[in-house]
Structure 1
Amino acid sequence: MVYFIGAGPGDPDLITVKGRKIVEKADVIIYAGSLVNKEIINCRKEEAQVYNSASMTLEEVIEVIEKAELEKQLVARVHTGDPSIYGAIREQIDILEEKKISYEVIPGVSSFVGAAAAIGKEFTLPGITQTVILTRMEGRTPVPEKESLESLAKHKASMCIFLSVHMIGEVVKKLLTHYESHTPIAVIQKATWEDQKIVLGTLEDIEKKVKKADIKKTAQILVGHFLGNEYEYSKLYDKTFSHEYRNAKK
């Protein structure tokens, strides 16, 4: 059996209880060492075989899994954050299905929510936006033209930009096609790790601040007016608003 586990954004305590239990009893652990905090797999049993997939190809990963399957071993495939977002698990799962190897996906805490928690912000503020866009800049992996930052910026929704901080100047340039220059923006490097860095600013000054902080990778870019201080209160706790569990008070 193979378990794809979302290890969370970095803090070892942010892996799910279910995920940790699998890591603890796994015979084989394949973890994304370039991003996953190694402390997360410190709970493994002493005899567990550990592989760092950062230096492995897809074929090599599958080879390890196939060998473990033949030996009836439990495999923990540990990915950073939640594996359904930029996790490259689909290509692994499709091969496992072809080979009739059983698997299960255990979700995790994504870095975009870890980043919001680090700065104490909520993506969906009444009167501001009820939409969150997760995206990235085009790099070595292309992005469909209809999903360009300029196109997505038209919505002025809360935006979380992955894998793009090394191109912060270009990111800002594309966002400014629709967002105002005073739009707040935050860059959080290694959210929830002990050495996380937080840089706050506006589209006008964030490039300069990020370069001064020497942030070049493993960072989330959050942009939108949800980072500001103007919003409406939720109806959820409004005393004048009735719902299934509460009558309105006058």
Structure 2
Amino acid sequence: MISFVGAGPGDVDLITVKGRRLLEGADIVIYAGSLVSKAHLDYCKDKCKFYNSAYMTLEEVIEKMVEGEEKGLKVVRLHTGDPTIYGAIKEQMDFLDKKDIQYEVIPGVSSFTAACSAIKSEFTLPSLSQTVILTRIEGRTSVPESEDLEKLASYGASMAIFLSVQQIENVVEKLKRGYKRGDVPIAVVYKATWEDEKILIGTLNDIVDKVKKEGINKTAQILVGDFIDSSYERSKLYDPKFTHEYREAKN
């Protein structure tokens, strides 16, 4: 069995209990060394073999998986955050399907939720936004034209933008055109939950200067929307005048 495991955003304690148990029992761990904290490997047994996928091709990763499976070993493919978001796991699973090798996917805490927690906010606020858009700007990996950042911003929803801080000027330019205003709140969270985490809060009008001043050009989440700093309506869930399945309204 091959186990794709989400390691979480940085803090090793944010891996799931199931993910930690799989690591502890693994014979082989193939980890995303450019993003996953190596402290996770301290929980593995002494004879566990480690492979850093940052230096490997897809074919080399699959080769190690197949070798482990043929020897009856437990293999963990350790991804950063949640493996189902920008994890490039589909192409790995397709290879395993062709070879009739069984696998499982263990979810993890994503950097977008970790970043929102870091700024002590909530994406979905009544009267402001009930939608969260996860996206990225085009780079070496293309983005469908229908998902251009400017078009997505025009919805006015809360947004979490991955893998894009290196193009912060371009990001902000597109967001301004989409939101049609420059005072939209924005947060850039560098290495959320890591010891060297940095949080920058501003608006579309001033965030570029703040990011450049700090020299942040990778490993950061960009959160955008009025949920960061605006008034909102109280939730109906705990409103004393609201009746639901578990509680009657109070006059």
Tell me the TM-score range normalised by the shorter chain. over 0.9
The range that moved more, 38-47 or 131-140, is: 38-47
What residue in structure 1 maps to residue 166 of structure 2? 166
Using the size of structure 1 for normalisation, the TM-score is: 0.99
Amino acid paired to 2:157:
A
What residue in structure 1 maps to residue 225 of structure 2? 224
What residue in structure 1 maps to residue 2 of structure 2? 2
Shift of 1:41: 1.9
Q: Aligned runs of 1:117-156 on 2, under 5 Å?
A: 117-156=117-156
Counterpart CA distance in 2 for 1:76 and 1:213 is 36
Counterpart CA distance in 1 for 2:126 and 2:78 is 36
Counterpart CA distance in 1 for 2:106 and 2:127 is 34
Post-superposition CA distance 1:6-37 (Å, at most 9, x none):
00000000000000000001000000000101
What is the SS of the residue equivalent to 1:244? Answer: coil
What residue in structure 1 maps to residue 204 of structure 2? 203
Counterpart CA distance in 2 for 1:167 and 1:178 is 17
Counterpart CA distance in 2 for 1:169 and 1:41 is 37
Amino acid paired to 2:185:
P
What residue in structure 2 maps to residue 104 of structure 1? 104
Shift of 1:228: 1.1
What is the SS of the residue equivalent to 1:178? Answer: helix
Counterpart CA distance in 2 for 1:55 and 1:172 is 32
Post-superposition CA distance 1:80-135 (Å, at most 9, x none):
00000000000000110110111000000000000001010000000000000000
Query: For this pair of structures, how many residues does the alignment match?
Result: 250
What residue in structure 1 maps to residue 190 of structure 2? 189
- 5+ long unaligned stretches in structure 1: none
What is the SS of the residue equivalent to 2:133? Answer: strand
What is the SS of the residue equivalent to 2:13? Answer: helix
Using the size of structure 2 for normalisation, the TM-score is: 0.99
What is the SS of the residue equivalent to 2:178? Answer: coil
What residue in structure 1 maps to residue 213 of structure 2? 212
Counterpart CA distance in 2 for 1:97 and 1:119 is 40
Q: Percent identity?
A: 62
Post-superposition CA distance 1:127-166 (Å, at most 9, x none):
0000000000000000000000011011010000000000
